[in-house]
Amino acid sequence: MYAGSLLLVAAISLLSACRRDKNNDTDTKEDTGYTTDQNLTEKIFDDAQTMSDKGAVVTGSGAFKTTACGSVTHAAGTFTIDFGSVNCLCSDGRNRRGKIIVNYTGAYADSGSVHTITFDNYYQNDNKVEGTRTVTNMGHNSAGQPYFNVMVNGTITKTDGSVITTNFTRTRTWTAGYTTLLNWTDDVYQITGAGTMTRPSGTVSVSITSPLMLALNCRWIQAGTIVYTLPSSLTRTLNYGATAACDDQATLTLPSGTVYTITLP
């Protein structure tokens, strides 16, 4: 009987350990999922605005391409950036196809002007982009930098078929490169704001607690901090770093203090 009790205790302990490991695995996968999805949506919708920034000041096919793509056509109150019906490798190393359509109330550089960005069968790196990004020019801050209020109501359908829906309000400050409008490689933006992101696993609240730094010549967010509130009401903190670094690494801190290293897509 004593031996049987020991076996029972051992079995329960083993089962509990397996459950703990399983829960830890699930937490890690969930954490990696919402952080990488948020990074993807942030970069894609910010990139769409960058394309519209360039499209506002060019005509033809000279601004976005390494091959014959990215043609810009202007009409009264609107312009269209057409990347064609098949993937085109652009000068920033991203594949694009479809159209970005911009309706505007005034010149892009004018304080108070509003640019509304929509999409027509548009894909970036085979991720389908839908929805609306509305950008209001707020003029210049005390440092002389242009800044914009941004509202995003959009959807990304990823290459694996999963769908991410975003509702964000952002302030986007153009901290470098705003004097060289035709050269995207020196552009740097600082992003603040909050919103929600809905994934197959539920809706996550997203709050930028330290400004995000996005440089157009880097694939990843370079610096800044985000706090996520999960459907369970638990919070997670994602840290891209205190100083700008173009790499695919970030850290995720759980309420327990456990820190995971995240590799960004």
Distance CA 102, CA 117 (A): 5
Helix (H) or strand (E) holding 259: strand 259-263
End-to-end CA distance of the chain: 55
Distance CA 49, CA 160 (A): 25
Sign of CA dihedral 18, 22, 25, 31: negative
pLDDT of amino acid 118 = 98
* Per-residue CA distances from 82 to 48, 107, 110, 124, 129 (Å): 12, 20, 25, 13, 14
- What's the predicted TM-score (pTM) here? 0.77
Has residue 252 got a pLDDT over 60?
yes
* Per-residue CA distances from 62 to 73, 78, 79, 119, 183 (Å): 12, 19, 15, 21, 11
Which stretch, 6-15, 107-116, 174-183, 200-209, has highest mean pLDDT?
200-209
pLDDT of amino acid 178 = 83
pLDDT of amino acid 62 = 55
Tokens coding 124 = 């970036």
pLDDT of amino acid 55 = 81
DSSP string covering 192-207: EEEEEEEETTEEEEEE
Has residue 163 got a pLDDT over 80?
yes
Q: What is the mean pLDDT of the chain?
A: 83
Q: Which of 6-20, 132-146, 154-168, 184-198 has the lowest mean pLDDT?
A: 6-20
SS3 80: strand
Backbone dihedral region for residue 171 (phi beyond 0: left; psi -120 to 50: alpha; all else: beta): beta
Distance CA 231, CA 255 (A): 14
* Per-residue CA distances from 61 to 13, 55, 182, 191, 214 (Å): 66, 10, 12, 29, 25
